[in-house]
Structure 1
Amino acid sequence: MSKLHSHEHWINTAQGKLFAQEWLPPQAQGAPIVLLHDSLGCVALWRDFPAQLAQATGHRVIAYDRLGFGRSDAHPGLLRLGFVENEARQGFTVLRDYFGLGDFIVFGHSVGGGMAVACAAAFANLCVGLITESAQAFVEARTLEGIRAADLQFAEPGQLQRLQRYHGSKAEWVLRAWVDNWLAEDFADWNLDAMLAQVRCPLLSLHGDNDEFGSPAHPERLLALAGGPGRVRLLQDCGHVPHREQAEQVLAEVVQFLQ
């Protein structure tokens, strides 16, 4: 295999620095793929998937830690209703400007999938491909049950340290940003319907059949309402993190989609 080059970047924003990393194949082709992490995630938690993705597709891959997560600076406040949609005009826009991105492909996991939809909608003339993985399109009982169970688990002794390994002193903020927003009364009617109608590019929606945070109703709704052509791939015997549980299958699906 030819050698990938990886570079780390620190991006200044009005609210603090963002950490980003890019993986460059020797002869990068096509539009760069930008990765958007999940509610408790960060660049480091993608593990070796970005490198695998760059190697398999030949595309440049860029991932970043949203403000408040991973190696990025602490968030000055709390996340509020609209935070999913707003990422397109906040961190993602700063990242686009910093890297001078024209056409791009966006790939989001879990809540990052919702943010990816928002990015594809906000930059419909530049987004040439949208990939969602385990994305939530609306607030489902199964999602809330999964979040309540995780909240209880993190309350047990030593569990928060798992998050501190990746988010440091921001770990408690990261957990509350996830749990408290999704369980809030004003979040109950949240959905991606309006955003999906503004999407123009092709969509690939990947979803595990055993996803504890969302049923197949989510990829079906994404497919039904997205403004561009799309396809759903329901992965068998797979939970909420397909890129870790079934990396080869996910890479094969993405390669096929990009062709």
Structure 2
Amino acid sequence: MPYPVDANGFMVGTGVPFAKSHRHYSHMLAVFPLATVNWEQPENRALIEKSLRHWMSLEGAHRGYSYSGSGSIAARMFRGDEALAYLVKMFDTTSRYPVLENTMYGEAGPVVETPLSAAQTLHDLVLQSWGGIVRVFPAVPSAWADVVLDRHLAEGAFEVTAARRGGRTRFVLVRSLAGEPLALRHGIAGAVTVRTPAGAPVPYRDRGDGTLDVDLPRGGEVLVHPAGGTPDLTIAPVPISTPGPRWGLPA
């Protein structure tokens, strides 16, 4: 049965339009986090975009949670710059309820789910695993030329280590903790090499859209990198693209 919609997108329920501002996006849970309606379904893209625009246009009741939620939804649309723009609104000190530099946040009292939701939005920028596919660097903002992941957990019990330098993904290393089938969208343009870290080839199936199907045993690893070279697998802190105010640290 289809979700109830009207001219503005998703409704709250049958006969109940999303007609006034609200901080929450309960009417869009099918998009995030459930992904039963998602951007990889072309027939649903206009609905997703219309619903997000309508929710964000009704600003009066928005709070920090609104901007982490809209950030994650934009990330699920694979729009990193838009997602980051929503997220940084949480830290606008001119607003009534900003998230502070120490990540604390309050409305009538402390609201711990808001900074935790912001952490999830950051995760959605750099790694997404839904619909059976692990997506590496799916919505990285253009200002983030360098990004690293170090044993970041994805659905299916996969540890993902990856590096993006100069705006290009240099390698993706996945370790299986459970032996589940891996569908990996690596985000590397052009031909790739698929092997173990020690150099042995790893069998895989290429879906033709940048997604590889790999059968890994429990504890098995696969390394994917651009063909024709050997990547530097060093994981180290990356430069800060946009320095922020210091908090709780000596000058």
Q: Judge same fold: TM > 0.5, yes or no.
A: no
Structure ranking higher in strand proportion = 2
The structure having more radius of gyration, on CA atoms, is 2
TM-score w.r.t. structure 2 length? 0.29
TM-score w.r.t. structure 1 length? 0.28
Structure ranking higher in helix proportion = 1
Q: Which has the higher contact order (CA 8 A, sep 6+)?
A: 1
